[in-house]
Structure 1
Amino acid sequence: MLMIRPSFDTLYEALMARDPSYDGRVFVGVSSTGIFCRLTCPARKPKRENCTFYDTVGECIEAGFRPCKRCKPTTPEASADPVVKSLIEALEQRPGYRWGEPDLVRMGLEPSTVRRAFKRHFGMTFLEMARQRRLQEGFSTLAGGGKVIDAQITAGFESPSAFREAFAKILGQAPGSFSQDPLLVADWVSSPLGPLIAVTDSTQLHLLEFLDRKALPAEFKKLLTFSKGRIGFGRTEITDQIQEELDHFFAGRNGVFETRLALHGSAFTRDVWRELLKIPAGETRSYSDLARTMGKPEAVRAVARANGANQIAIVVPCHRVLGADGSLTGYGGGLWRKQRLIELEQSYGSQSRSAG
């Protein structure tokens, strides 16, 4: 998907076709009615001469348009979907339940429809999300000092081996292998884009990664080497601080993180990460931009590798780096998350321009 604004003709065609690929990325203000809509709005389509396209809800409101009552453009896309909304609520009421397709059928839902809706909004199916939620419950039990068997039961796993296998798939080791005398502690923190694992000590954040990131076991292994195997379960004030800052970030209240970071990598890699930290929320850069800023214009590929090796998601904003043509490029947390983060941060960019 390109971040460069498509032409008016392209956007008007998308509006007429109710193209879902633009939903949440572009909005249309209709001068004849004074309202603004999603491009997927079910209402009768306006004449092209009455349409103006905007990148954010904020821009629509600043231009004097009111939100449409049918497509509810000010409501987050996922929560506006009744199928998604009902299942998210059901999942929160029963986080340890082993959800399956028969449960969806009993609720009067078509499993294939649910699967497509969740993949579109979250990049994963509802059943995958439910499995992650169960593992979160088990993780919280362990972080609170509970036994492995208690965590297994809380997470809704019928056998110890299944729980150990599922746990090891995420972090690369079974829960019984964690240290009882840790230097670093691990727990999960929540976000609208899915749960993240946070590894902290009493003063710094060492790792913040999405639970389903494929590189997470390798990153965790590096921290095990750094701590000489002494990573345990638990929370610190730093864990609570990053959770609070993430809450403010996703609520649109603050795009700045103040949690102290422990950057584990080569000198060059750390330099790239520090350069990423200088990119304001609402702005993007290309890999070549970063290389030139660092005084090493020939090191574009090395910059890209360092960007991909980032193990503190969102806070060290590797998602703000795009391809030279403005396209979304590889992101360990999934391109759907990268797109959501960039869309969210557009509001911070609008706030900065307004303040200026």
Structure 2
Amino acid sequence: MIKLTEERMYQASLEKDSSFEGIYWMAVKTTGIFCRPTCTARKPKRENVEFFINTEKAIESGYRPCKICRPLEKLNETPRYIQDLLDELQQNESLKIKDADLLKRNIEPVTIRRWFLKNHGMTFQSFQREFRMNKAFKKIKNGESIIEVALESGYESLSGFNERFKEVIGTTPKHTGHRTIIDLKRIETPLGPMFACACDEGICLLEFTDRKNIDRQFVHLSKVMNAEIVQGENKHFKQLEEELNEYFDGKRMKFDVPIYTTGTDFQKKVWNLLTEIPTGETRTYKQQSEVLGNPKAVRAVGTANGINKIAIIIPCHRVIGSDGDLVGYAGGIWRKQKLLELEGAILF
């Protein structure tokens, strides 16, 4: 468990340390507001603040949420106006939202561009293109005519469609027979947004978007599955989001959404063993290696835990150090603590 003093929390707020997001909230006695650790507002003097481990306690004590950092919103939550754009793209596969369309909605194109570059690593136009090509790929795989799919995707020129298709999918529409794609979606959770990847068999990746080396995870997944990762919907995403919502609401202890793992036989044994740790309990790396029949494999178990691509569902957060410390969680130790608190393994 993270042991925090008020001095350490105050210093984290001065440094706007994002690793403390979700662990505490700082309230200012002179203004009557409370903030996230990363709030950009001018920091008050030490004697004028107090700290809370949840927003409910801050509100009960008479503080109101800061209008700058908005502590009651989900961390890095998708703004409503952007979610509306995403919903429109989902409903109309031929829709192409241009800068002029954004301006008509009183939305600055540069704002949209920055948000998509920050949260998806691409421009809004590139995102739309991937989304359209994802749908087009699946239609062609299901036997629909390439010409008809091109027209439905909003292309008047077959050559233009072919060029964009190859750019995104990595092959031409005529050669999709043995090609596969992995669907990618950004989803919201109370602990911050996550990237979800899915294939026909199930969820094959679920990671917090700010996870260390997330790009390497994508590259490895694409390589081992010999598939392109493309923005788009998948039949498993709805069930995943519903079950995650139930989990964070404290109404679900076990996930039923199908998963698909890629790894060695040993790694899969380690991951399967993780799913057997009951909700509300923890195990040490040593205990896990002993159950596997190899007490000396502590380091190998830790390594396998570290490269688990399906967070929460395969609960690597339930494994702790032999001394009880919360160690080794790529999504952030603060998230590991919050997940264990949610499950009742850590009680305050």
TM-score class normalised by the smaller sequence: 0.5 to 0.7
CA distance in 2: counterparts of 1:142 and 1:57, whole angstroms: 49
What does 1:296-315 align with in structure 2 at a 5 Å threshold?
A: 296-307=294-305, 310=308, 312=310, 314-315=312-313
**Shift of residue 12 of structure 1?**
1.3
Query: What residue number does 2:168 align with?
Result: 166
Identity of aligned residues (%): 28
Q: 2:84 aligns with which of 83, 89, 94?
A: 89
Distance 1:59 1:286, change over 3 A: farther
- Range that drifts further, 346-355 or 301-310: 346-355
Conserved 8 A contact 2:282-2:345 = no
Q: 1:68 aligns with which of 57, 65, 69?
A: 65
Deviations, residues 97-149 of structure 1 (Å, cap 9, x unaligned): 567889889967484x76665566x3634546545544444466468765555
Query: What residue number does 2:211 align with?
Result: none
Query: What residue number does 2:204 align with?
Result: 208
**Is the counterpart of residue 124 in structure 1 residue 121 in structure 2?**
yes
Conserved 8 A contact 2:26-2:52 = yes
**Shift of residue 272 of structure 1?**
0.4
Q: What is the letter of the counterpart of residue 335 of structure 2? A: E
CA distance in 1: counterparts of 2:42 and 2:220, whole angstroms: 46
Q: TM-score, normalised by structure 1?
A: 0.61
Q: 2:223 aligns with which of 218, 222, 231?
A: 218
Distance 1:39 1:178, change over 3 A: closer
Conserved 8 A contact 2:27-2:33 = yes
State the SS of the aligned residue for 2:26: strand
**Shift of residue 18 of structure 1?**
4.7
State the SS of the aligned residue for 1:9: helix
CA distance in 1: counterparts of 2:309 and 2:15, whole angstroms: 40
Distance 1:351 1:251, change over 3 A: closer
State the SS of the aligned residue for 1:209: strand
Query: What residue number does 1:227 align with?
Result: none
Distance 1:273 1:77, change over 3 A: closer
**RMSD between superposed Cα atoms in Å:** 5.2
Q: What is the letter of the counterpart of residue 162 of structure 1? A: R
State the SS of the aligned residue for 2:204: strand
Q: What is the letter of the counterpart of residue 76 of structure 1? A: K
Structure 1: any 5+ residue segments left out of the alignment? 180-184, 223-233, 331-337
What does 1:1-356 align with in structure 2 at a 5 Å threshold?
A: 4=2, 7-16=5-14, 18=16, 22-30=20-28, 35-41=33-39, 45-57=43-55, 60=58, 64=61, 66-70=63-67, 71-79=69-77, 85-94=80-89, 109=108, 111=110, 122=119, 124-127=121-124, 129-138=127-136, 141=139, 146-147=144-145, 158-168=160-170, 175-177=176-178, 191-192=187-188, 193-200=194-201, 205=202, 207-209=203-205, 213-221=218-226, 241-242=239-240, 244-249=242-247, 253-254=251-252, 256-259=254-257, 267-279=265-277, 290-291=288-289, 294=292, 296-307=294-305, 310=308, 312=310, 314-318=312-316, 338-339=331-332, 343=335, 346=338, 349-350=341-342, 352=344
Distance 1:189 1:23, change over 3 A: closer
Q: TM-score, normalised by structure 2?
A: 0.62
Structure 2: any 5+ residue segments left out of the alignment? 189-193, 208-214, 228-232
Conserved 8 A contact 2:23-2:338 = no
Conserved 8 A contact 1:199-1:208 = no
**Shift of residue 64 of structure 1?**
4.5
**Shift of residue 68 of structure 1?**
0.9
**Shift of residue 244 of structure 1?**
3.6
Deviations, residues 318-348 of structure 1 (Å, cap 9, x unaligned): 4666899856665xxxxxxx34x96398267
Deviations, residues 289-345 of structure 1 (Å, cap 9, x unaligned): 643564534323432453366465542234666899856665xxxxxxx34x96398
Q: What is the letter of the counterpart of residue 352 of structure 1? A: G
Deviations, residues 184-239 of structure 1 (Å, cap 9, x unaligned): x9867773324522322xxxx4x5236972222334259xxxxxxxxxxx987x77
State the SS of the aligned residue for 1:199: coil
CA distance in 1: counterparts of 2:296 and 2:320, whole angstroms: 17
Q: How many residues align?
A: 315
Deviations, residues 136-175 of structure 1 (Å, cap 9, x unaligned): 4446646876555555566668332431442249xxx963
